Structure 1
Amino acid sequence: MARYDSIGINYADLRIPDARIAAAIAQALGPARSIINVGAGTGSYEPTDREVTAVEPSIEMIRKRRHPAAAVVQASADALPFDDNAFDAAMAILTIHHWPDKQAGLREVRRVTQGRIVLLTFDPAQRPWLTDYLPELARLDDAQMPAMADYARWLGPVRIEPLLVPHDCTDGFLYAYWRRPEAYLDARIRSGSSSFWALPGLEDGLARLADDLSSGAWEERYGELRHQPAYDAGYRLVIAD
């Protein structure tokens, strides 16, 4: 059973696509008309003006899809049931860390795509402030996320661009609340990010965060973030032609 079948309960409510991130993804996709979205989840960031085929292993996520008109195939990234060069372009948005065989998955994406591949992923070398309270997040990123150099090895030449997170980002992924630290104390908000679902040391780290917010220590260390419109939390667009 796909992991999200049991833990994706609040996902659609908390992971509302952010229009600014959507624009960056759409621009990266270029003029492609037929697009495969691999690890599509509920359909976040799928263009509505193009022909999209979604691939998602979790039936729970498929049931919560935002774009029911799009074709949906229940399958895994490392065994895509399509012919070679079947699509103009491909996208995979904040999903690669869940793939059991990332290299095989990306090679499959390359096989079925004749043009551009756009990935939204995370650079595990980055250390957002939340990892100071929850160092297991950094270890989880190291274990789950490919290094940036891996994408060129698996896909050929790539272009890598930082994707800054807006301070009022509507999409509740892991580091989206960088300027709203109080949000991490809310269990419902945390349920929108898979990283929290089995994280060792979570309660202790959140207790330290709550104490620092109460005492003003967080403001002393990170207060300048309250005035920044966007933040480089480590998210990256990887673009392969």
Structure 2
Amino acid sequence: MALLTVHHWSDLEAGMGELRRIDPDINHRFWLLDEYLPEAAAFDDTRAVAVDRLVTLLGGARIETVPVPHDCTDGFLAAFWRRPEAYLDPRVRAGISLFAQTSDDVIQPGLTRLADDLSSGRWHRRHADLLDRDTLDVGYRLLVADV
């Protein structure tokens, strides 16, 4: 999932020269970012690389949607879309760059609101439609370039 790493690279063009498949940005319609962490999402936007730019650097690529299964065990940001309580676990957050690279002052108010919404049942009422889904398109894309 290269897009989740490119903001760490010091030389994007050189890294892309070695890459054959890429996974781009998260759609900010993802409930966690939209409802609880909009400030963190705005910070993340400053580091995001546009899909069109990545396609150009690859010399062209096919873009494929990568839906995230509800029981995904990889620890990336949207992996827990149907298990919101996971975002309250510091061990889960430690493996997600958005949390690791955003100050607690920005993150904590949103996590407090999420904890309150989970305790009150508000999150489950608001997102009841997610609870029956097996996968969710949260904006992850796979870029496949022919060599």
Q: TM-score range with shorter-chain normalisation?
A: 0.7 to 0.9
> Superposed, which structure 2 residues align to 1:196-215 within 5 Å?
196-200=99-103, 201-215=106-120
Please state whether the residue corresponding to 1:214 is helix, strand or coil.
helix
> Superposed, which structure 2 residues align to 1:174-213 within 5 Å?
174-200=77-103, 201-213=106-118
Which of the residues 198, 201, 216 maps onto 2:121? 216
Label 1:175 to 1:229 Cα distance change in 2 as closer, same or farther (>3 A). Answer: same
Which of the residues 2, 5, 8 maps onto 1:98? 8
Please state whether the residue corresponding to 2:80 is helix, strand or coil.
coil
Please tell me whether the aligned partners of residues 137 and 195 of structure 1 are also in contact (alpha carbons under 8 angstroms): yes
Residue 129 (structure 1) aligned with residue 34 (structure 2)? no
**Structure with the greater relative contact order (CA < 8 A, sep ≥ 6): 1 or 2?**
2
**Structure 2 residue aligned with 1:109:** 18
* Residue 124 (structure 1) shift: 4.8
Please tell me whether the aligned partners of residues 163 and 237 of structure 1 are also in contact (alpha carbons under 8 angstroms): yes
How many pairs align?
143
CA distance in 2, matches of 1:196, 1:165: 19
Label 1:189 to 1:216 Cα distance change in 2 as closer, same or farther (>3 A). Answer: same
Task: Name the one with the larger helix percent.
Answer: 2
Gaps in structure 1 of 5+ consecutive residues: 1-90, 111-116
TM-score, normalising length from structure 1?
0.55
TM-score, normalising length from structure 2?
0.87
CA RMSD of superposed structures (Å): 1.9
Residue 143 (structure 1) aligned with residue 57 (structure 2)? no
Label 1:179 to 1:199 Cα distance change in 2 as closer, same or farther (>3 A). Answer: same
